[in-house]
C-alpha cells in the first residue's frame, strides 16, 4: 500500500485555519515564526515542530517566540511529545491534540 508523506507545517496550517484564525507566516529579523493567527485584531503566535527532544530544537522554537515583544499568546506545538512543561517564560508548550482541544 502506498504511503503518503505529510508536511507538518502544511498540516498544522490547515489546523490553525480550522480554529477560525487568518493565518500568516511571520518574520522577525532573520527568524521565522511558523504561524501568526489573527482573529479580529487578536493574535496568536505558533511554532510547530515534530519533537522537542533536542536542546537545539528547544532553543530555536522557543527563542523565535521570546523575541516577540507584545503580550499576545505564544505556543510551541509538538506532534509526538507528551507535555514537557506548561510554561516556558510565558510561552506555552502543547501537544497538537491538546492544542486543538483548547478554547483559544
Domain residue limits, the chain: 8-101
pLDDT exceeds cutoff 60 at 11: no
* Stated pTM of the model: 0.79
Region 25-34 average pLDDT: 89
pLDDT exceeds cutoff 70 at 96: yes
Question: How many residues are there in the chain?
Answer: 104
pLDDT of residue 6: 47
C-alpha grid cell for residue 57? 530544537
CB 96 within 8 Å of CB 15: yes
**What 3-state DSSP class applies to 22?**
strand
Model pLDDT for residues 38-54, shown as the tens digit of each residue: 999 999 999 999 888 88
Mean predicted lDDT score pLDDT of the chain? 81
Q: Considering only the top CATH level, what class is 8-101? A: alpha beta
Amino acid at each position: 500500500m502506498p504511503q503518503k508523506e505529510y508536511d507538518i507545517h502544511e498540516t498544522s496550517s490547515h489546523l490553525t485555519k480550522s480554529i477560525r484564525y487568518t493565518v500568516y507566516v511571520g518574520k522577525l529579523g532573520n527568524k521565522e515564526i511558523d504561524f501568526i493567527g489573527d482573529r479580529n485584531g487578536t493574535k496568536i503566535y505558533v511554532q510547530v515542530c515534530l519533537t522537542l527532544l533536542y536542546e537545539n530544537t528547544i532553543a530555536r522554537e522557543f527563542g523565535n517566540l521570546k523575541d516577540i515583544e507584545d503580550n499576545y499568546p505564544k505556543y510551541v506545538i509538538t506532534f509526538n511529545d507528551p507535555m514537557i512543561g506548561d510554561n516556558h517564560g510565558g510561552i506555552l508548550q502543547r501537544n497538537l491534540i491538546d492544542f486543538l482541544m483548547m478554547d483559544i
